[in-house]
Each structure stands twice: as C-alpha cells, then as structure tokens.
Structure 1
Amino acid sequence: MATVQTISERQEAGKLARERSPRSQNAMIGNVDRDPVQLLRENSAGRVDALVPLRYGRMSVSPFTFYRGSAILQAHDLSGTACSGIRFPICGDAHLMNFGGFATPERQLIFDLNDFDEVAVGPWEWDVKRLAASFAVAGEHMGIDRGSIDDIVTTAMQEYRDRMHNYAECSALELWHEIVTFERMIDAAATSEGRQLVRRAMEKAAGRTHESMLGKMATENNGRWTIQDAPPALFHPGGPNSLLGDEQKWSDTDEWKGKLAAAFDSYLMTIAPERRQLIAQFELQDIAFKVVGVGSVGTFCLVMLFIDSHGKPLFLQVKEARQSVIARYFDADNPAHEGERVVNGQRLLQAASDSFLGWTTGPAGRYFYFRQLRDMKIAAEVERMNSTILEGYARICGWALARAHAKAAGKAIEIAAYLGNGGRFAEALAKYAFAYAAQNQKDYDTFMRACRAGKLEARSDEDMAADFRV
C-alpha cells in the first residue's frame, strides 16, 4: 500500500517545484519555431477528407475560432517551457468554450469542463495557460480594451489560486464529492446581472432534452423514426448525401451492420450493469454522421437514435478518439485505447459524468467513446458578454478548473504551495496570455494566407450546404 505523506512534506514538495519552474517563468510562451500550417496538416491526417475544408472554414472565422481548433500548436509550444513536475491527467484543451452546464445522473445542473478529446497525463500548468490565453484571444476579438482583458485573465488566475488553497484543506473524500452547482454560482456572482444570467441559463438547460431534440432532428413514418439529413453537418453514412467517400465502405450491408453491432456490444461492457439494463429498454431506430465543434471537424462522429416503448427518445453520440496533442508532446503513461483514455480522464476530472459514458473499438480499428448527445447541456454565449460579465465567467472557469485539478491530481496541497498566496503566478499568466494571443494572431495570419493561396482549402457550412441544394 502507498505511504501517505504529511501535509508539511507535501507543502515542501510544492515549494521545491518552484526551483524546477520559477513562477515568473510561466510568462514564457515556449518554442514557436514551427510551421503552423504543417502542424495543422498533420493534425488533419486520418480525418474525413471531404470535411477537412469545413474544419479550416470554421477555424477561419476569427482568431478566436482558430485558437479553438489549433490545440496542437499550443501543445507544441508549451513542450518547450519549464514545468513544475506536478503532473496528472489534465483536460488538455481547457479553453473558455470547453466549460459549460449539464445535468448529473441525479438531474442536478452543474458547471464543469465538458470536452476531453485531448485529455492525457501532463503538466497542470498547460491547462491553466490554455484557459488564460483563451480569455486574451477572445477579449481582443470582442474589442475589449487591454486593461479590462488583464483584469479578466488575472481574475481567472486568482480564483484558481484561491480555490486551490481552499481545496488544499479538504479531505480526499470532500474533494471527490465537490460540485460546482448553478445554485452555488448564483451565490458567488458579483453582480445582479450575473445572477440573472445564471438563472436564465438554468431555464434554458431545462428545455434541452432528448425529447426536445427528437422533433428537430428526426421524422416518424409508420412507427419508425429516421434522422433527417442536413449536410454537411448531419447525414447518413451510406446515403446519397454522404461525405465519407467510397473508400470508407459505409454501404448499408449486413457485414457492416454486424461490425457496428459488435462495436456496440463491446461498448456496453464498459458501462455499469444497471446502465446496460436501461439501454436494453430502447430499440435502435437510426444512425447518422454528425459534424461537431471546431477542432473535432473531420473526425468520425455518429448519432444513434433509440426509442423506448413509450415512444420516448435517447440520443447517443459516438465520437472518434484520436491521439491527444498532449500525449504527442509530453511523454507519460496513458491507456493504449484512445477511447478509454478519454473516458477515464473525463470520469476523473469531472465532478459527475454522463451515465452512458463508455468506449469501444469500431470498424477499421478506430477508437470511439460514447456519451449522450444532449442532456440539459448548455454553453456560454461568450461573444455576447460585456467585459464585466466576461470577468464573472472567468472567475467561474478558474473555480471549475481548480476543482477538476484538485480532484484528479490529489495534489491540491502541492499545487497551492507552488502558487503561494501572492500575485506572482497570476501576473506571469497575464503576461503569458497577452504574448500567446499575439502569437495566435501571427499563426492565424499565416493560416489565412495559406487559405487564400490555395495551400489549404477552407469552406464554410453555408458554402458546403449549397452543394446539396437542388
């Protein structure tokens, strides 16, 4: 059995970590001597060829959407920086849009990290830097003045520090059961406008259910439900609107159905027995390919529609899991199965995870993980926020990230000791955020020149949708 260190020993270990990585050095952006276009091409390898232009099209909208889709660049750059040596499964893509609200299995609405495609063992600082820079990039895109952006980033970092100090005083079980609920967010809101926004978000979440989605995504004919094609974002893999190409062999054959059934049976063995019993009460109606997000565009993602005997739906999302950009640039032990990596990391970092979260190996040896497509899930409308509201949102994100790290690492004491009680770390991260926002702008400009020169093809959703209109 493991030997448990004393609190004073753990505090000393955190302070010693400053020798490996002085807090002021967190302002360094790392190794940016690379070709962003080449790295993006490498990151697009193995995706659906016809959807890669859509990925670039979504990234081209603004420096902020580019930042969201280019996690590989920041991971590369951070690999050239010093780190504290405190490592554990981190989110890997903790930018401000990868936080949101969703329902726990007990139907409690909570705020937490909600994207784990890049989760892997890595330095905790990389998550914090990804978050800090995202506020600087978004703030500049929104036209917020530099002084206010500095306040926003500093607020997020100070909240992370203060919450980590609080969590350093919690027992292991207290940390494991810690949840950031929307009720707690209302209590923590600094303004009446902030409290009102949280309440409106709760009302919106209540309406985002499987039933509300059924009529929007599918139609019924003689008791059978069919998902409606809406290319390029939603289409049947073997249908006339498919973008997968003949080489993917997505024909509606018994052989392929058998492979999908085997993959689904394998998935069922990764969830709890009572969840398997629950799924057994539903009948599969249809499967479609769904394009999601910015960074995930071009990866294989399916939607499975199930209906129970009362005609009520269950939508499961089946999402491809590829090598994490964190694992590419930070050497550590991670599960060999990429779907298992995502699921294990999500279960460890989140306060409460999806009841149907599991993994499988699909046809052609691709790795996948399962989750519900929508279950009271909501995301912040960041671009509609003013600087005051964005600062409040930054505080909540800093809180949620600290909670996730404290739970996943079991090293809140060490991280808190490294951070200290002063402002040195927050000051360094504010400098980092502005410096990386400038680097992101350079990379975006290089990317856009490549698109205009025809080196990369970028197409919008509207442009690609026009290909299917008669």
Structure 2
Amino acid sequence: MNDKAATRKELFRTAKALGVDVPAKATKRELLAALGDGSADTHRDDARDSEETDAGGRVSARDDSDASHHADGRPRVASQMDAFRRLAAARSDGGVTPSPRVLTGNDRRIHVRQTIREDHQLRIARHNEEAFEKFDKLAGSRFSFFRGTALLFYRDMVGDDAWMPTVLAAGDVHPENFGVMPNADNVPIFGIDDYDEVFYAPFTWDLKRGATGFLIAADEIGGYGKSKRRKIARAFVRGYADQVRVYAADNTEEAADLRRDNAPKLIADLFDEATSGGRAAWLTKKCYNENKTGFKASKKLVPITSRRDEFQELIDRYVAESGITVPPRAGAMQVKDVAERRGQGTASLGLVRYYVMIEGPLTDASDDLLLELKQARRSALEGLVPSSEHVVDGNADRVVHGQRVQLVSGDTFYGSIKHRGISFLVRERSWFRDDIDLEDLSFGQWRDYARICGEVLAQAHALSDEAGLLDHDVEPDIVDAMGVTELFVDDIVRYAEEADKRCRRDHDAFRDDHELGAFRRIDLVYR
C-alpha cells in the first residue's frame, strides 16, 4: 500500500485519535509528516503499537478505560488491552469465563481482524511500507502468519494454567527461533535466539506455542501428514519433559550450553556450516561497499553515514551506562558506519532496526564487527498471563533480562539503550549467527531437532531460579505439575492440534480480509 491510498480526512481523523496535534487545515503532506512516513527518524517508542510507556518504565494503555472519546469529542483508538487484563484476572481466579478461542464464524473473523489491527496501530496509521509488506508475507504463508501474530495466539490463552509453576518464558517458541549465536567469549553456542516476547508465565505457555509451531512448520515446510506431524510435536514436548527431570535431579542447567564439542550431530553440523566462511568473507559478501569503508547500499541496507557522529555518541553512552567490558576485538568502539536494516524478521517488520559497524583493531577491514539496535515493544504475553509477582519493567530491559537469565554466558554486547524516545535492544550481529534449514531435514531429523529444542527450552526454564527472579528451585515443581509424563505430553499436543486447526481458519479469514483492504486502517471508537 502507498501513502496515496489514504484520504486527507482519514489521516486527519487518525492523527486526532492518536493524540497527534495537527492544525485543522493541515495538508495531506503535513498529516503524513506528523504521523510519520515510516522512516526510522519518525518512530516513537512502539509499545505493542497501541500502548505507551510511562515515566516509570511501566506500560500503560494509551486510551482511558472509562471513555470512548477524547474530552473534545475526538474518537479514540480502539483498544481491548484493559478488557483482556480483566479477563485474565477473572480466569486466573477460577472464574468460568470463556476465552476468544471459543468464537466461531464471523465473530472469530472480526476478533482476528481487530486484534491484528490493534497490534499494528501505529504502523498502519503511519502507512509504514514494511508493515504492509508484513501483511503480504503473513497472507502468503500460514507459518509466517503464526509467527507474526503472537498477540492473537496468546489472547486465546488468556488466564490459562494459573495453577502451573511460573518460569521466565521465552514467549515466542517455534522451530525458527533457535540457532547458533555468540557467547560472552565469542564462541558459538546453540539456543533460543529471540527473546522479544520474554515474560514470566506458566511454563506450559512456551510448550503450547512451541508444539503448535512445530505442527504448523512440519505441515507447511516439511509437507508431513497428521501422524508424522504429531510425532514431531510429541518429540518436542517429550524432550522438554525428560530434560527438566534431569535438572530436577542434578541441577546441571548452568553448565549445559550446547557447543560444538558437546552437541548432537545435527547441531554439530549446523555449527560447522555457520563457521565455515570466516568474518572477513562474510563482511565482504553481506556488508561492505566496494572500498570497504562502510556499508553498501541495497534493498536491505540503507547507509546513513551522515549520522555517524550521532551514533558514536550513542555507542559511547551505551558502553558507559551498560557497564559492559569491551573486548579487545572491538578496538576502541569506533563507529565506522551506520545503516538502517530493512525487511528483516516477521513479527518485527516495520519496526526500527540499525546496524552499527564498529572498527576492529586491524587496519585491513577484515575484523570489523556489527552491533544491531532493534526496537523493542511490549511483550504479547503482558496483561494475558495469570497474575504474578515477577515483573520486569521496560521493553528492551525486559528482553535483556530474559537473555541474561536464559543464556548464562551470552553475547557480551547484549543490552538496552533509549534513543530519540525509542527503547532499543543492542546485540552483536555475529558473522556465524545461523539457524537450521528446515527444508533440508528428513523426518527423523525433524524429530531429533524438535527433541533438542525441547531440551534447550527445559534448560532455559530451569535457569529461572538461578539468575532470574524466582526465589525457589522450580524444576521439582515443574516435574510435579507435569505428573504422568505421557498424559502431560498428550495434553500439550492435543492443545497444539486444536490451535493448529484454529490457525488454519484464522489464516483463511485473514487472507480474505487482507484482500479486501482490512489492514489499511485502524479501529476507532466513535461517539
């Protein structure tokens, strides 16, 4: 969709609903500028698009729960956040209250539409081109749809499993969110590589999303029938259950990182593939301009060299505020170049992302490193999980907390910083960062991979009481809560199978709505 698709009247109404101060006679160009044209410079801190962070770092709803319009009569942006918080509390307290997953037919289609619109309010209002590209991507693939609609998935789970042990949940578990990444010593390790949705929640929430993700991916990417897909999902849950019992018995989770020397063959092969080229070759192929003085210009990389001094100040501030120990391979943390990174990810399409090139100690442009600054948002789980005493304020700070808890010796550059009102996650974009190619796996390898991912998730949960906020040994509680292993595995897989069918229907409804232009506007509440 391009900017011309919206009328001046629609833009004016949207600006007023979002609380953007614009004159009554503003031109269409002025309205687009006020809303932001989708460029990185105009983004505000995007706390799940429909909420904003207050001065104390906590997230609060943009609109008041007791009014449908502003005091001057302007319509408000529609939000169900407060309603779902109340629903989560009621269900957690044992109230017999239905969740949105019982909706059918047109009611379900409207729910899907409203949830996705709400989850992307600011990006739609600003006519962010990457947001519309995201909707195209979601329409083209059911697995992409699943990946890019975490809020829809978790609203179906609102308040569920309140009696289950709380852990630091990764939040967005699926087959493509595991991979090879650097640890604090720049050594490759394999683990969960996306913590955007991390939140304290019942341990079953990660298992239900993970099992559903494996079912959908094994269908769309693997091409397997119901029986084989079920075996793959069972392998994931069984791998988790078996491994968490090991940690309950021997407390070895802090020393259980997967490295090249202790990884099963499937993951060892991934390590070999990820580290086969070398940093210099990777930089030349992916990043450098022809003179190796900075970033090349491409569809994915847009150099903004004129802002290098601005980002040097930002990196200097980041080092000072985060207290990281700069490794010798980063030299003096001198910013060599900066670029906007576009078109990356699925859920995060349309959010701000920068690559910052840091000059290495050598002068031959063979050892530069990249830092990624990625805009962080409110977790999709917030306001939906059962009430918990464990809360981490802020957006990027929450993500950093998750990484530091679940990866004991993770990326040394991992941290957060605020810049121009946006909460950024900072991490190294390592030359050997890689994930498994699901299309290349045999059925046996799919099962092996699913089991390994389940074991990795068990380690992540077991670490919730080490560096996390839990003050008790959580693994025995998880084992006790699982009860009979085969019954527990069956319960999770049956939930995932229902969620898989629901996702198929939701995707069909989304595609029909997308074709009709449903995601070119946001929902407003009128008088």
TM-score range, shorter chain: 0.7 to 0.9
1:39 aligns with 2:115: yes
Q: Which of residues 209, 221, 226 in structure 1 aligns to 2:294? A: 226
What does residue 15 of structure 1 align with? none
What does residue 463 of structure 1 align with? none
Report deviation, 1:280. 5.0
Are residues 424 and 221 of structure 1, via their aligned partners in 2, closer, same or farther at CA, if it must alter by over 3 Å? closer
What does residue 318 of structure 2 align with? 267
What does residue 313 of structure 1 align with? 368
> Structure 1, residues 156-213: CA drift from partner, whole Å, max 9, x if none?
1111111111100123xx3222212344332xxxxxxxx3x44432221113654233
1:285 aligns with 2:336: yes
Is the CA contact (8 Å cut-off) linking 1:29 and 1:436 kept in structure 2? no
What does residue 479 of structure 2 align with? 416
What does residue 80 of structure 2 align with? none
Instruction: Write the letter of the residue equivalent to 1:176.
Output: E
1:323 aligns with 2:378: yes
Is the CA contact (8 Å cut-off) linking 2:164 and 2:481 kept in structure 1? no
Is the CA contact (8 Å cut-off) linking 1:351 and 1:404 kept in structure 2? no
Are residues 279 and 203 of structure 1, via their aligned partners in 2, closer, same or farther at CA, if it must alter by over 3 Å? closer
> Structure 1, residues 62-95: CA drift from partner, whole Å, max 9, x if none?
1111111111111111115233342232111011
Query: Structure 1 vs Structure 2: percent identity of aligned residues?
Result: 23
What does residue 468 of structure 1 align with? none
Instruction: Write the letter of the residue equivalent to 1:226.
Output: G
Distance 2:93 2:188 in 1: 38
> Structure 1, residues 243-270: CA drift from partner, whole Å, max 9, x if none?
xxxxxxxxx579xx54x44433332135
Instruction: Write the letter of the residue equivalent to 1:303.
Output: Y
1:382 aligns with 2:433: no
Mean CA deviation greater in 263-272 or 441-450: 263-272
1:236 aligns with 2:303: yes
Distance 2:259 2:307 in 1: 46
Are residues 279 and 374 of structure 1, via their aligned partners in 2, closer, same or farther at CA, if it must alter by over 3 Å? closer
State the superposition RMSD in angstroms: 2.6
Match of 2:191, SS state, is strand
1:358 aligns with 2:426: no
> Structure 1, residues 432-463: CA drift from partner, whole Å, max 9, x if none?
11111111111111111112112236xxxxxx
Match of 2:167, SS state, is strand
Q: Which of residues 119, 122, 125 in structure 1 aligns to 2:204? A: 125
What does residue 6 of structure 1 align with? none
Which structure 2 residues correspond to residues 178-189 of structure 1 after superposition, within 5 A?
Answer: 178-186=256-264
1:433 aligns with 2:496: yes
Distance 1:417 1:335 in 2: 27
Distance 2:376 2:503 in 1: 25
How many residue pairs match? The answer is 403
Which segments of 5 or more consecutive residues in structure 2 lack a partner in the other structure?
1-91, 466-472, 521-527
Instruction: Write the letter of the residue equivalent to 2:284.
Output: G
Distance 1:106 1:253 in 2: 30
Are residues 277 and 389 of structure 1, via their aligned partners in 2, closer, same or farther at CA, if it must alter by over 3 Å? closer
Which structure 2 residues correspond to residues 199-214 of structure 1 after superposition, within 5 A?
Answer: 199-207=268-276, 209-214=278-283
Which structure 2 residues correspond to residues 23-422 of structure 1 after superposition, within 5 A?
Answer: 30=101, 35-47=111-123, 49-141=128-220, 142-171=222-251, 174-186=252-264, 195=265, 197-207=266-276, 209-219=278-288, 225-231=293-299, 233-236=300-303, 252=306, 257-258=309-310, 260-275=311-326, 279=330, 281-291=332-342, 292-310=344-362, 311=365, 312-330=367-385, 331-332=387-388, 333-363=390-420, 365-409=421-465, 410-422=473-485
Distance 1:302 1:319 in 2: 7
Which structure would you say has the larger RCO, counting Cα contacts within 8 Å and 6 or more residues apart?
1
Distance 1:385 1:338 in 2: 35
TM-score, normalised to structure 2's length? 0.71
Report deviation, 1:58. 2.2
Are residues 176 and 270 of structure 1, via their aligned partners in 2, closer, same or farther at CA, if it must alter by over 3 Å? farther
Instruction: Write the letter of the residue equivalent to 1:263.
Output: L
Which segments of 5 or more consecutive residues in structure 1 lack a partner in the other structure?
1-19, 23-27, 187-194, 239-251, 458-470
Is the CA contact (8 Å cut-off) linking 1:110 and 1:179 kept in structure 2? yes
Is the CA contact (8 Å cut-off) linking 2:312 and 2:335 kept in structure 1? no
Q: By percentage of residues, which structure has more helix? A: 1
Is the CA contact (8 Å cut-off) linking 1:92 and 1:127 kept in structure 2? yes
Is the CA contact (8 Å cut-off) linking 1:284 and 1:305 kept in structure 2? yes
Instruction: Write the letter of the residue equivalent to 2:477.
Output: E
Distance 2:490 2:93 in 1: 15
Report deviation, 1:415. 0.2
Distance 1:261 1:283 in 2: 7
Instruction: Write the letter of the residue equivalent to 1:431.
Output: R
